Amino acid sequence: MAGHDPEGADHSPPDEDTRSPPDSEQLEPTTEDAGDGLPEQDRDSDVDEEPSADSTQRSIREMLDDEGEASVFVNRDLVEPDTIIDEERIVGRDDQLESVVSFLKPTLQGNRPPNMLLYGPAGTGKSLIIGAVTQQIIELCQSKGERFGVIDINCQPINTLDQAVYELIQTVAIDVGADIGVPETGVSTKRKYRRLYNLINRHYDSVIFILDEIDLLVGRRANDEPAYSKLLYQLSRASNTDEIEGRVSVAALTNDPKFMEDIDGRAESSFNPRDVYFPDYDATQLREILGNRRDAFRQDALDEDVIPLVAAFAAQSHGDARKAIDLFRGAGDLADERGDEEVRENHVRESQEEIDKDRSLKLVEGLTTQKKISLYATAAVANYSNRSRSSVPSPVGFTVYQWVTDELDADQMTRETYVKYVKELSTYGLVSTARKSRGRGGGMYMEFTFTGDPAAMMNRIVDDTRLEAIAEQEELLRTVINSQLQQFHEQ
């Protein structure tokens, strides 16, 4: 599937280039209407009422034109992470494709496919593979006059079970062009389920629910069965109870390898999935993935070192294909910004540096206040801990979070929500999470470890919120944290 060739790399000399003068030198007045920015020089003013404004306008357009022509890209979409790519561009996932295809094949024979759990680290192709296979099934079903519904939601922005059911209704309604038929709030979740089933029964012969990032659907109530467990239970038994008349299967996607551990027993037995594991990509596979998208760039615009280097960087960050594609695109953008005609190693290196620097900053800027506080409290524990390991047990992080919200007189979320918020950051690679057991019925907790410097993270958050008031109490915060840590570890 993979062995592509690098598109007839006849090394055409750079002087065949007739596109445009190098735009870094555009100050040179070569045309009659150049010579901008020299107001004294009275030019033959025909319609020039406002020479300075007019000349600015021209130069913007010139710059835009130049960039358009000189771009290293010919199809930049191909290196956008959310572009749905053709099947031929998928590499290195043969086993997973085969499993998913074989699990879903019964749909085409009028049978019910099993439920599935697709799990593995971020950027390993889970969403891609399930999307590619279900898309083909939709098309095959259509040609036979069967109505196969793919109801795909991402749970990351969803907070409650009720919202998740509403989101499912919305997805179906959009797909089939029906009314949503229930208000978002003010009616019971039960009624929403009924509307969902009703829409499905009316419009589909069989359905698959795709619940992406399912582990992030925690729900609000503490000490309760997590929302994802309830949702899995409901959806996977809906066909047994005849609430859904057609064939139903559920595919859950997660980065969390221990996802099934927190699932309620009855949900586990009704969901009972077939597992498909998505391991990290190695540098060779990443090279192939990128190689299959090299036509995003002009034929002669990629130095031969670029793909191996991008792949090597991404292999270091856990073989995440999304990161590889982002870096590939970033290097191209940087070359364009500089007006360079070719993407080279230095663009990759600099772009990677930028990504490292920007990622946490950008991310932090976009967070809600509650998420900032959660992150701040967690980073503070890592930063002020006197212990040799600076990982943060979630119960301690949460206590510190509560302390901070008290000090600020801010709203206080439940522990589950706090954990969800911090876990979300792991999808951006800012923290890594591990599930820990306290042993002998002591329960489970999460442990957070920052990949970068927690102090830098704290500074960033303080830069842009009212958390300054907390930052001023550094000594107190340090004391609170270390006494909490001590209590935790003595228990």
Q: Give residues in contact with ligand ADP (CB under 6 A).
A: 81, 85, 89-93, 122-128, 278, 289, 321-322, 325
CA distance from start to end of the chain = 55
128 binds, among Mg ion, ligand ADP, none (CB under 5 to 8 A by kind): ligand ADP
By beta-carbon proximity to ligand ADP, the closer residue of 7 and 468 is 7
210 DSSP β-pair partners: 152, 251
Residue environment code for 232-265, b if the CB has 16+ CB neighbours within 10 A, otherwise e? bbbbbbbbeeebbebbbbbbbbbbbeebbebbbe
Binding partner of residue 124 among Mg ion, ligand ADP, none, CB cut-off 5 to 8 Å per kind: ligand ADP
Indicate the residue among 66 and 333 with the shorter CB distance to ligand ADP.
Answer: 333
β-partners of residue 274 are 116
Q: Which one of ligand ADP, Mg ion, none interacts with residue 85, CB within 5 to 8 A by kind?
A: ligand ADP
Q: Which one, 127 or 270, has the nearer CB to Mg ion? A: 127
β-bridge partners, 250: 209
Kindly list the residues in this chain that would bind Mg ion in the complex (CB under 5 A).
127
When the beta carbons of 372 and 423 are compared against ligand ADP, the nearer one is: 423
Identity of the residue, 127 or 351, whose beta carbon is nearer to Mg ion in the bound complex: 127
Which of Mg ion, ligand ADP, none does residue 400 bind (CB under 5 to 8 Å by kind)?
A: none
CB of residue 152 vs Mg ion: minimum separation in angstroms? 11
Q: Which is nearer to ligand ADP, 70 or 216 (CB)?
A: 216
Smallest gap, in angstroms, from Cβ of residue 294 to ligand ADP? 12
Q: Which does 477 bind (CB under 5 to 8 A by kind): Mg ion, ligand ADP, none?
A: none
Q: 26 φ, ψ to 5°?
A: -75, 0
Please, which residue, 278 or 313, has the CB nearer to ligand ADP? Answer: 278
Whether residue 233 contacts residue 270, with contact meaning beta carbons closer than 8 Å, is answered with yes
At its nearest, how many Å lie between ligand ADP and the CB of residue 78?
A: 10
Please, what is the minimum distance in Å from the beta carbon of residue 303 to ligand ADP?
22
CB of 395 to Mg ion, least distance (A): 29
- Choose among ligand ADP, Mg ion, none what residue 81 binds, the Cβ cut-off being 5 to 8 Å by kind: ligand ADP
Beta strands in 48-147 (DSSP E): 116-119
Q: Is 111 exposed, middle or buried (0-12, 13-18, 19+ CB in 10 A)?
A: exposed
397 neighbors 377 (Cβ within 8 angstroms): yes
CB atoms closer than 10 angstroms to residue 367? 19
Out of ligand ADP, Mg ion, none, which partner does residue 157 contact, by CB within 5 to 8 A per kind? Answer: none
Residue 363 beta carbon to ligand ADP: minimum distance, rounded to whole angstroms: 17
Q: At what angle do helices 283-291 and 321-338 cross, to 10 degrees?
A: 50
Compute the distance between CA of residue 343 and CA of residue 302 in angstroms, rounded to an integer.
5
Which tokens hold the place of 404? Answer: 């901070």
